[in-house]
Amino acid sequence: MFDAPARLVFAAFTRPDLLVRWYGAGGWRLVECAVDLRVGGYWRFVSQGPDGQRMGQSGHYRQITPPHRLVYTELFDDQSYPGETLVGHDFTELAGRTTVTTTLRFDTPDGRATALRYPMARGVTESYLRLAELLATTAEGRS
């Protein structure tokens, strides 16, 4: 849950100028961020870690319903499991606060099992803490 209206939280997930300020686990930052926000549009992120390591990921937008829903495919450049992942974010606002519910649908059960072995929960938590800080300081976030 974020202390900001859904329109701003949705924007933070879709605008490169905001994404580069919060997206990524601690020590990682976006060094490339391209967003063609339309159904069928392509997105691409390249993150760089503290040791200079790079990680690229990309996909296509499937559903865009601002500020309530965002659905896209995701594929990492060096993916260790088969197929694309379908990612869905639902943004639900109540009294100026927004809950983000994310659903990941992996192509195969083995892909899901492989992804669950990664420190994804830690990375998402660290990233969302940065997002919460950004939302707290963004003037647009004030209703």
pLDDT of residue 143: 40
pLDDT of the chain, 143 residues: tens digit per residue: 999 999 999 999 999 999 999 999 999 999 999 999 999 999 999 999 999 999 999 999 999 999 999 999 999 999 888 899 999 999 999 999 999 999 999 999 999 999 888 887 888 999 999 999 999 998 554 44
- Decide: 64 and 72 in contact? Cβ < 8 Å: no
DSSP 3-state assignment of 7?
helix
Q: What pTM was estimated for this model as a whole?
A: 0.93
37: left (phi over 0), alpha (psi -120 to 50) or beta: beta
- DSSP code string of 48-111: E-TTS-EEEEEEEEEEEETTTEEEEEEEETT-SSSSPEEEEEEEEEETTEEEEEEEEE-SSHHH
95 Cα distance to chain centroid = 23
- Decide: 43 and 36 in contact? Cβ < 8 Å: yes
- Decide: 24 and 134 in contact? Cβ < 8 Å: no
